[in-house]
Amino acid sequence: MTATHHKLIIIGTGPAGYTAAIYASRASLSPLVFEGSQPGGQLTITTEVENFPGFREGVLGPALMEEMREQALRFGAQIRTETITQAKLDVRPFRLETDQGAYTCDALIIATGASAKWLGIGKDEVLSRSGGGVSACATCDGFFFRGKEIAVVGGGDTALEEATYLTKFASKVNLIHRRDQLRASKAMQERALANPKMAFHWHKVVADILTATVETPMGDTVEKIRALQLKDTRDGSLSELPVDGLFVAIGHQPNTHLFKGQLAMDEAGYLHVQKGSTRTEVPGVFAAGDVQDHTYRQAITAAGSGCKAAIDAERYLEHVMVEGLARVLRHDPVELRGTCRGVRARVHRRRARDRVARLSGNRHAIGG
Ligand SMILES: Cc1cc2nc3c(=O)[nH]c(=O)nc-3n(C[C@H](O)[C@H](O)[C@H](O)COP(=O)(O)OP(=O)(O)OC[C@H]3O[C@@H](n4cnc5c(N)ncnc54)[C@H](O)[C@@H]3O)c2cc1C
């Protein structure tokens, strides 16, 4: 399959991918962006986003992502609705394939995100998308459960951290765990066990989510969680726990299977980046957003790292160009004349753009 070549390819159109696309397009890198099976990323499956700066009344997740998409397109990013099925990072240029074509690039930004793990009962995922009171993100949704009784499923550090955080809002937090011992660190356990707002349900799993049809202030109806049906893992007996919300905290799955064996990742599959940057250990490959961040996993942090990745990629590409020039200088003075003309033209174009931006009072260049 013949491949089309691009200077920069970005995989993913969540906040990280779009932000990288906006910065890279403004730096004249003409990025090609692949959006995969979830155009707009995780925020397209939520309703209200209240913590993304710039929207004092909050904004609907899909609407926010549509704005980012339009902003990226405005500066010239090319977006394709294709899923990368293969990546070869041990060749130069890097080679990517989808079921529709092959592509090569000098630099690559991976912004493929991470997906929350659900309970496997189907209803939890459906209710998380419809605003039915199920969530996989305490930081995002805890605020909506002020004064309510809720449940958290899980037994690791994340589950206890989220449960403890949720006690700031909820009247009571029920922790549901399949065993009678938690996997979380001792310090975290002690803090949670001492919290008067927390109750522990040992040897229990969620067998079903029971709902009620509720009328919204707009006059629509929506299915909302009213209780959990819990199953005892020892004798299979069933019980009911009335709650207004459920937080599933059994982990996230970073979308990194394409890069296994090619890029360093931790045991959960999060990509490893060099401290303070978005550089992976393969020069020219950068990672941004949830795919490399198991700690924060927020839209704003994903967007921030997308910006960093675009700046890192631009610097890398400039460095490669200078290196190439030096190589030519050493070996082929005739080709050098042609290359120098190209570089002079690029510098000239950039200066002209800078002048226009200064005159119009705008900061056009990447990084401000
Ligand atoms: C229900 C829900 C509600 C949330 N609410 C909030 C909130 O209120 N505030 C907040 O700050 N955060 C919230 N978050 C978290 C936030 O959505 C994520 O932190 C953020 O979306 C991460 O952005 P990202 O760009 O790293 O990846 P994602 O948004 O996960 O996007 C990943 C992108 O990569 C693409 N992709 C993956 N694999 C491939 C492939 N092989 N080829 C091509 N493309 C590929 C996907 O299609 C997608 O476009 C919420 C998350 C969820 C699930």
Closest CA to 124 of 26, 239, 194, 205: 205
Q: Which of 124, 140, 290, 293 is catalytic?
A: 140
- Does any ligand 1 atom lie closer than 6 A to the CB of residue 259? no
Atom of ligand 1 nearest to the CA of 38: 47
How many CA within 13 A on the CB side of residue 139? 11
Ligand 1 pocket test, pick from 140, 162, 256, 271 with the greatest ligand atom count within 8 Å of Cβ, gives 140
pLDDT value at residue 358 = 67
- Does any ligand 1 atom lie closer than 6 A to the CB of residue 111? yes
Is it the case that residue 309 has pLDDT exceeding 60?
Answer: yes
Is it the case that residue 360 has pLDDT exceeding 80?
Answer: no
Distance 43 CA to ligand 1 centre (A): 6
- Does any ligand 1 atom lie closer than 6 A to the CB of residue 12? yes
Percent residues over pLDDT 70 in the chain? 92
Is it the case that residue 363 has pLDDT exceeding 70?
Answer: no
Q: Which domains does the chain have, with CATH numbers?
A: 3-115+252-331 (3.50.50.60), 118-248 (3.50.50.60)
pLDDT value at residue 367 = 46
- Does any ligand 1 atom lie closer than 6 A to the CB of residue 16? yes
pLDDT value at residue 333 = 59
Euclidean distance between the first and the last CA atom of the chain, given in angstroms as a whole number: 40
Length of the chain: 368
Distance 130 CA to ligand 1 centre (A): 17
pLDDT value at residue 337 = 61
Per-residue pLDDT averaged across 269-285, rounded? 97
Percent residues over pLDDT 90 in the chain? 78
Residue range 148-200, pLDDT digits in tens: 999 999 999 889 989 999 999 999 999 999 999 998 889 889 999 999 999 99
Strand positions, DSSP E, 45-171: 48-49, 59-60, 78-80, 86-88, 94-97, 102-110, 114-116, 134-135, 149-153
- Among this protein's residues, is 137 annotated catalytic? yes
Distance 41 CA to ligand 1 centre (A): 4
| The pTM of the whole model exceeds 0.75 | yes
Q: Which of 141, 244, 290, 293 is catalytic?
A: 141
Cα dihedral across residues 86, 89, 91, 96: positive or negative: positive
